[in-house]
């Protein structure tokens, strides 16, 4: 999923025929997964309601973490590109911070929050935030000079400049960064939930692994991937498509 | 007296950059006046500092020396590469300055309608810049500048990215609008013929550093015959100065 948006962006340049074939392939894949799940769900006992409850708990953690991370990323990126002085201070700090191994944070978070959902949420915030911050910084630093001048000439200052010029101009980068961050969050979630023993897909799969229920584990992982794929199809790819109208002409 | 009706005075404008302790002059002691309602063209070869001068007049860049007196605050600017906001449709691009001024929705709608009709963008209101041709994009750029009812319209080589037929049509539209609105126009171009066709006065600049070499008053009556002996004589005179 991490790089699928890049492929999709490239596809936007391709002919409608290619796009249609790829959409058909996606539906065939989805159909195959559904058939696989239906067939095996008949023969293997798996508590789907429990799985969905766990999945929704995990989705809640990822969604809350994403909202917090997106907001903080925006503040950090705007701060780091505000002026040369702030850039010289913030950029090295962000560079060091993003290379910090995030799993090393979990013991600290457990010490602070105990075995609560906040351990997972804060851990996911730290995971999601970096791709968004750095794609935003790149976009803000690469803003087209003439568009900025047009905004200045026509009195887009202060909050109006932010709302009517800066945010729309970095919207495609924000979506790209969000897709990467969102994908990394799902990867990190499993480990975090197992370690923090918090209700969610991670702890559910961890429990199946401990009990040696290999088939249920395979089905659980397949379902997990399928739901992430669906979220990608109904939320992120349409947003990525929509953001293409915000992009500058080459 | 209304400051918008005063003569704009550009006085001893100089600009230089410093790099590795070395001084690179871009503009040197540029002075001229612009009367209200006048159409001024600044002509010179590429890289001669004309666009930089226009940006200084617009307040987008700071000069190292000199001052500009009586420049009104309400400025329209037309960019060489259009500088349209890609996420906005034609209507929203044209209304951008009006929204920044905080005008009411009905006022914005009225003004946008006027400019769209005047500049010939009917039927393209909901199109995005990437769906438009170069000529249409520049029409949007001009409409956006005119919508705010500027006291001075600044144009930076507005037709140089267009083919000659489109540029010719837009030049005629610009002249028509200037005759209707009587707005002060300062336009930068590297095409001498374009300057002779449009301007009341032509500021001829020398390159590196940009310096006013001569100011020529164009007394030809409008509409100007671009094939007349008088036209070519003036073109030759300016090219001689360049």
Quote the ipTM score: 0.88
Taking residue A69's Cβ as centre, other Cβ atoms within 10 Å add up to 26
Q: Is the confidence at residue B147, as pLDDT, over 70?
A: yes
A147 — pLDDT class (breaks 50, 70, 90): very high
Residue with the bigger pLDDT between A167 and A2: it is A167
Residue with the bigger pLDDT between B82 and A245: it is B82
The per-residue pLDDT of chain A, averaged, comes to: 82
The partner residues of B205 in beta bridges, in order of sequence, read B212
Domains of chain B: 8-73+151-241 (3.40.50.300), 87-149 (no CATH)
Residue A8 confidence (pLDDT): 47
Residue A103 confidence (pLDDT): 83
Q: Is the confidence at residue A22, as pLDDT, over 70?
A: no
Residues of chain A with a CB closer than 8 angstroms to some CB in chain B:
144, 146-147, 149-150, 152-156, 160, 164-165, 168-169, 171, 245-249
Contacts of B61 in chain A (CB under 8 A): none
Of B77, B85, B129, the CB nearest to A153: B77
Rounded to whole angstroms, the Cα distance separating B19 from B24 reads 8
Instruction: Determine which helix (DSSP H) or strand (DSSP E) holds A145, and give its type and residue range.
Output: helix A145-153
Whether A136 and A74 have beta carbons less than 8 Å apart is answered as yes
A223 — pLDDT class (breaks 50, 70, 90): confident
Q: Which of B120, B118, B94, B121 lies closest to B108 in space, CA to CA?
A: B94
Residue A7 confidence (pLDDT): 45
> Are A164 and B100 in contact (CB < 8 Å)?
yes
Rounded to whole angstroms, the Cα distance separating B217 from B22 reads 38
Mean pLDDT, residues B218-232 taken together: 88
Backbone angles phi, psi at A37, to 5 degrees: -65, -40
CA distance B151 to chain A (A): 13
Rounded to whole angstroms, the Cα distance separating B36 from B67 reads 18
Which CB contacts under 8 angstroms, 24+ apart, belong to B236-242? B238/B43, B238/B192, B238/B195, B238/B196, B238/B202, B238/B204, B239/B192, B241/B204, B241/B213, B241/B214, B241/B216, B242/B43, B242/B44, B242/B45, B242/B192, B242/B204, B242/B206, B242/B213
Rounded to whole angstroms, the Cα distance separating A158 from A122 reads 31
Q: What is the pLDDT of residues B154-200, one digit of tens each?
A: 999 999 888 888 898 899 999 999 988 888 999 999 999 999 999 99
Nearest CA in chain A to B96: A154
Backbone angles phi, psi at B123, to 5 degrees: 90, -10
Whether A189 and A200 have beta carbons less than 8 Å apart is answered as yes
Residue A216 confidence (pLDDT): 77
Residue A65 confidence (pLDDT): 96
Q: CA torsion, points A224, A226, A229, A230, in degrees to nearest 10? A: -110
Nearest CA in chain B to A163: B100
Contacts of A245 in chain B (CB under 8 A): 86-87, 128, 130
Whether A116 and A198 have beta carbons less than 8 Å apart is answered as yes
The per-residue pLDDT of chain B, averaged, comes to: 90
Whether B117 and B173 have beta carbons less than 8 Å apart is answered as no
Q: Which of A249, A231, A244 lies closest to A175 in space, CA to CA?
A: A244
CA distance A235 to chain B (A): 20
Nearest CA in chain A to B77: A153
Rounded to whole angstroms, the Cα distance separating A65 from B5 reads 58
Q: Is the confidence at residue A4, as pLDDT, over 50?
A: no
Instruction: Determine which helix (DSSP H) or strand (DSSP E) holds B26, and give its type and residue range.
Output: strand B22-34
A23 — pLDDT class (breaks 50, 70, 90): low
The rounded Cα B135 to chain-centroid distance in angstroms is: 16
Q: List CB contacts of A161: < 8 A, sequence separation 6 or more.
A: A151
Q: What is the pLDDT of residues A85-109, one digit of tens each?
A: 888 888 888 888 888 888 888 888 8
A3 — pLDDT class (breaks 50, 70, 90): very low
Q: Is the confidence at residue A213, as pLDDT, over 60?
A: yes
Size of interface A-B (CB pairs under 8 A): 58
Extract the tokens encoding A98.
Answer: 């993003």
Q: What is the pLDDT of residues A43-59, one digit of tens each?
A: 556 667 777 888 899 99
Of A146, A156, A247, the CB nearest to B83: A146
CA distance A155 to chain B (A): 6
Mean pLDDT, residues B82-104 taken together: 93
Q: Is the confidence at residue B97, as pLDDT, over 60?
A: yes
Q: Structure pTM? A: 0.81
Rounded to whole angstroms, the Cα distance separating A80 from A238 reads 29
A1 — pLDDT class (breaks 50, 70, 90): very low
Judged by average pLDDT, the poorest of A22-26, A64-68, A137-141, A207-211 is: A22-26
Nearest CA in chain B to A172: B87
Residue with the bigger pLDDT between B5 and B64: it is B64
Residue with the bigger pLDDT between B53 and A248: it is B53
Q: Is the confidence at residue A26, as pLDDT, over 80?
A: no
Q: Can you give the length of chain B in residues? A: 242
Residue B1 confidence (pLDDT): 42
Contacts of B130 in chain A (CB under 8 A): 245, 249
């Amino acid at each position: 999923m991490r790089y699928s948006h890049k492929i999709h962006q490239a596809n936007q340049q391709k002919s409608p025929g290619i796009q249609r074939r790829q959409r058909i392939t996606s539906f065939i894949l989805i159909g195959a997964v559904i058939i696989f799940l239906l067939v095996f769900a008949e023969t293997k006992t798996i508590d789907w309601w429990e799985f969905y409850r766990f999945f929704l708990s995990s989705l809640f953690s990822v969604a809350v973490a994403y909202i917090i991370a997106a907001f903080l990323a925006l503040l950090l990126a705007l701060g780091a590109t505000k002026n040369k002085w702030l850039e010289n201070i913030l950029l090295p700090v962000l560079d060091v911070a993003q290379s910090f191994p995030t799993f090393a944070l979990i013991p600290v978070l457990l010490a602070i929050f105990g075995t609560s959902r906040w351990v997972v949420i804060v851990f996911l915030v730290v995971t999601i935030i970096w791709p968004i911050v750095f794609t935003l910084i790149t976009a803000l630093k690469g803003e087209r000079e003439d568009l900025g001048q047009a905004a200045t000439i026509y009195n887009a200052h202060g909050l109006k400049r932010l709302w009517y010029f800066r945010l729309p101009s970095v919207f495609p980068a924000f979506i790209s960064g969000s897709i990467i961050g969102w994908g990394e969050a799902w990867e990190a979630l499993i480990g975090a939930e197992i370690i923090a023993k918090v209700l969610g897909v991670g702890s559910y799969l961890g429990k199946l692994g401990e009990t040696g229920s290999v088939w249920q584990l395979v089905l659980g992982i397949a379902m997990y991937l399928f739901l992430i794929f669906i979220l990608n199809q109904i939320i992120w790819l349409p947003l990525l498509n929509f953001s293409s109208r915000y992009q500058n002409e080459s | 007296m209304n400051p918008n009706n005063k003569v704009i005075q550009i006085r001893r404008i100089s600009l230089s950059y410093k790099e590795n302790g070395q001084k690179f002059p871009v503009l040197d002691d540029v002075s001229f006046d612009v009367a209200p309602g006048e159409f001024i063209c600044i002509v010179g070869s590429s890289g001669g500092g004309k666009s930089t001068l226009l940006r200084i007049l617009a307040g987008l860049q700071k000069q190292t020396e000199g001052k500009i007196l009586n420049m009104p605050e309400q400025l329209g600017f037309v960019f060489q590469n259009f500088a349209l906001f890609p996420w906005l449709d034609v209507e929203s691009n044209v209304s951008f300055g009006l929204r920044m001024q905080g005008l009411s929705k009905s006022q914005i709608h009225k003004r946008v309608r006027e400019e769209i009709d005047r500049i010939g963008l009917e039927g393209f209101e909901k199109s995005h810049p990437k769906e438009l041709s170069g000529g249409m994009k520049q029409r949007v750029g001009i409409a956006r500048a005119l919508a705010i009812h500027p006291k001075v319209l600044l144009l930076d080589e507005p037709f140089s990215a267009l083919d000659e037929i489109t540029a010719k049509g837009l030049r005629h539209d610009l002249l028509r609008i200037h005759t209707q609105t009587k707005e002060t126009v300062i336009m930068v171009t590297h095409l001498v013929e374009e300057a002779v066709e449009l301007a009341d006065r032509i500021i001829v600049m020398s390159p590196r550093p940009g310096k006013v070499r001569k100011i020529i008053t164009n007394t030809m009556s409008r509409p100007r015959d671009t094939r007349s002996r008088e036209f070519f004589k003036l073109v030759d005179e300016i090219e001689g100065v360049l």
